[in-house]
Amino acid sequence: MKKLLLLLSIVITALSFKSADEPISEKHFKNIKQLTFGGDNAEAYFSFNNKMLTFQKTNPSEEIMCDQIYTMDITDNNKEFKIFPVSNGEGRSTCSYFMPGNKNIVFASTHAASKDCPQQPTPPTWAAHKYLWGVYNNFDIYTSTINGNNMNVLTASPGYDAEATVSPKGDKIVFTSSRNGDLDLYIMDIDGKNIKQVTNLLGYDGGAFFSPDGKKLVFRASRPQTEQEIKEYKELLSMGLVAPTNMELYTINIDGSDLKQITKLGKANWAPFYHPSGKKIIFSSNHKATPESRGYNFQLYMINEDGTGLEQITTESNFNAFPMFSFDGKKLVFSSNRNNNGTKDTNLFLVDWVE
């Protein structure tokens, strides 16, 4: 009997621990809800009152040939949520965010230069097989009402101005600009005045978000080091292109002081957003991708602000990105390839966040 009890104790103890090969569960997610059904839907961000989302969408089957900005009321419990256009359908519009008061939106657009979708430049031969993003010099930052009226330009300088997000305090906007010949972060007042440069190291600094107290920024950055890397980065940038395949996450004070590198994972670490506590950062990364996947295995992770405590958050599908916590910390919205019936569609998903 003693031997049997000992054996049962060993079995129970073994079952109480996960094996190293046991799949990671999405334990922080509860009540997952799919918000869009078809096309490429991304960069969804909450209104200050947590009742709406603004996001960008491309779907040729709906004659949306390149990204345009829409809003969605997420208090509606219908299966297919109604969306409403914000941008005017001309050019390409991207990187939208709610302004204080929830009645206006800031976003970037190329529509002033052309009604047509901008075409990505043909890369040089050496970069023909690289994954590249277009950083179009015709992008400027605008505000409008949530129904697209009263459009006003905040930036009208030569070069790329985009990737604007708003401080939770409602007083500042951070954005990425190439106005100095590189892609750096800048901060301006909510009305577009008092523009100040925040970062100044060579490389692509972008996708910045404020900490909950509005005192810091978290962002993605490439840092070309070798002579060859620097040459390639500058050549691509001169054509309006970047290769976002080697990026790490950084934090910095909004006055440009105390720059810190948070991740050292390799590959592409991007789309960071602060946890409501201000002590952790959620982000997307393909650092676990295998050669067979060609780098395409993006999962959400969370990490402490000091770079410790890396935790994998998602496991479903091969693309999860653009996470944002609601202002009350109760929900998370993100983009994912899950549940797309084998297509290449990227949809928006809303979950209750479980600590």
What mean pLDDT is predicted for residues 242-265? 98
What mean pLDDT is predicted for residues 63-70? 97
Check residue 48 and give its pLDDT: 98
Say whether pLDDT at 9 is over 80: no
Q: For residue 31, what is the enclosing H or E element?
A: strand 29-34
Say if CB 103 and CB 79 are below 8 A apart.
Answer: no
Please report whether residue 221 resides in a domain: yes
Give the pairing of strands 29-34 and 205-210: unpaired
Look up the CATH number of the domain holding residue 204: 2.120.10.30
Least confident of 21-35, 300-314, 338-352: 21-35
Say whether pLDDT at 293 is over 70: yes
- Domain count along the chain: 1
Say whether pLDDT at 8 is over 60: no
Say whether pLDDT at 2 is over 70: no
Please report whether residue 150 resides in a domain: yes
Please report whether residue 23 resides in a domain: no
User: pLDDT over 90 for what percent of the chain?
Assistant: 88
Say whether pLDDT at 89 is over 70: yes
Please report whether residue 317 resides in a domain: no
Domain that holds residue 105: 40-278
Q: What is the mean pLDDT of the chain?
A: 92
Could you tell me the pLDDT band of residue 25, with boundaries at 50, 70 and 90? Answer: confident
Say if CB 221 and CB 204 are below 8 A apart.
Answer: yes
Say whether pLDDT at 215 is over 80: yes
On the CB side of 157, CA atoms within 13 Å amount to 15
Say whether pLDDT at 267 is over 90: yes
What mean pLDDT is predicted for residues 30-44? 96
Check residue 32 and give its pLDDT: 96
Please report whether residue 220 resides in a domain: yes
Please report whether residue 97 resides in a domain: yes
- Higher per-residue confidence, 107 vs 2: 107
Please report whether residue 18 resides in a domain: no
In this structure, is the dihedral angle defined by the CA atoms of residues 22, 25, 27 and 31, taken in order, positive or negative?
negative
The amino acid at residue 347 is N
Could you tell me the pLDDT band of residue 16, with boundaries at 50, 70 and 90? Answer: very low
Could you tell me the pLDDT band of residue 156, with boundaries at 50, 70 and 90? Answer: confident
Q: For residue 60, what is the enclosing H or E element?
A: none
pLDDT single digits (tens) 95-124: 999 999 999 999 999 999 999 999 999 999
Please report whether residue 131 resides in a domain: yes
Q: Report d(CA 200, CA 115) in Å as an integer.
A: 33
Least confident of 2-6, 137-141, 150-154, 284-288: 2-6
